[in-house]
Amino acid sequence: MFKYTDSNKRYYTLDYFYKHKFNCKVFKVSLNAGFTCPNKDGKVGVGGCIYCSKSGSGEYAGDKTKDIVTQFNEVKDMMLKKWPNAKYIGYFQANTNTYAPVSVLKQKYEPILKLDNVVGLSIATRADAISDECLDYLEDLSKRTYLTIELGLQTIHEKTSILINRCHTLECFVDMVNKLRKRNINVVVHIINGLPYETKEMMIETVKYLSTLDIQGIKIHALSILKDTALEKMYNETHFKVLTREEYIDIVCDQLEYLREDIVVHRITGDPKVSDLIEPDWLIKKVTILNDIDKEMKRRNSYQGINFKNL
């Protein structure tokens, strides 16, 4: 049986990690601090990544028209109905959350750290949007709270990176991972399965590569084609292949087998708003996807990292 589990899961879930680190239930409170992105405002590109929604992939974050503490309390109070004795991590989710002067970042981050029962911060950003001054500040934060930096990579394949308008290289990503780890800052990496024209082998190669890096967590998303995105336009024009539910489950299970066993799986499928979703429609049944991943891993008599030694 997989060693980092106390349930039927055969992979290292975030829930298991939090419970053993903090000895209680911990949930993330998603926030929108009103940042933009360097590939939206023209610094490195325009338009953003082709799949990015109008909310900057912060569909479940707070209302950016409200101050950050008000956002936090509104989201927290809603989630406390489900987990009344939990503690919290402030999750700066929408857009690129280190893309501002450090003085501005402090105005956003520090008020959250002062709130009761906040045990950490999780900051979603890009590898090309963390300055040296910002690194110094993040290092300071990491000594005061449980800090995680989430880097959006999506794929290791440069051809796909250009197609999705990521606007930074794999080399840039690896360099930032190394800089963060030299300061003992935790790194979580986002990847997307089903990007246009990627094969199953390419998606597995992305996870194999990440397993060789000093990262602490991963988020695995299924590609969501959302309304009013450049990806929707591409899909309507080219009708590129979208993964079936069965293909996605098979690919994820293969990826888990190559994923180093100590890397925490923060997410294993997408969670788009139904009202914005064009394809794939099977994504709206998140619980059944999770259950079927569990069933397939059991059918294989497999677990996370079983094939890592074969890399």
pLDDT tens for 224-242 read 999 999 999 999 999 999 9
Confidence of residue 60 (pLDDT cuts 50, 70, 90): low
Domains in the chain, CATH or no CATH each: 14-303 (3.80.30.30)
pLDDT tens for 191-217 read 999 999 999 999 999 999 999 999 999
**pLDDT, average across residues 77-83:** 86
The pTM score is 0.94
**pLDDT, average across residues 289-299:** 96
pLDDT at residue 58 tops 60: no
Check residue 167 and give left, alpha or beta (phi > 0: left; psi -120 to 50: alpha): left
pLDDT at residue 141 tops 70: yes
Q: Are 187 and 216 within 8 A, CB to CB?
A: yes
Confidence of residue 18 (pLDDT cuts 50, 70, 90): very high
Cα 208 → chain centroid:
17
Helix (H) or strand (E) holding 138: helix 132-144
pLDDT tens for 85-109 read 899 999 999 889 999 999 999 999 9
Rounded Cα distance, 127 and 145, in Å: 22
Rounded Cα distance, 12 and 19, in Å: 12
Check residue 57 and give left, alpha or beta (phi > 0: left; psi -120 to 50: alpha): left
pLDDT at residue 125 tops 90: yes
Rounded Cα distance, 39 and 155, in Å: 17
Rounded Cα distance, 214 and 135, in Å: 17
Nearest Cα to Cα of residue 262 among 308, 302, 300, 297: 308
Q: What is the structure's pLDDT at 307? A: 95
Q: What is the structure's pLDDT at 248? A: 97
Q: What is the structure's pLDDT at 136? A: 98
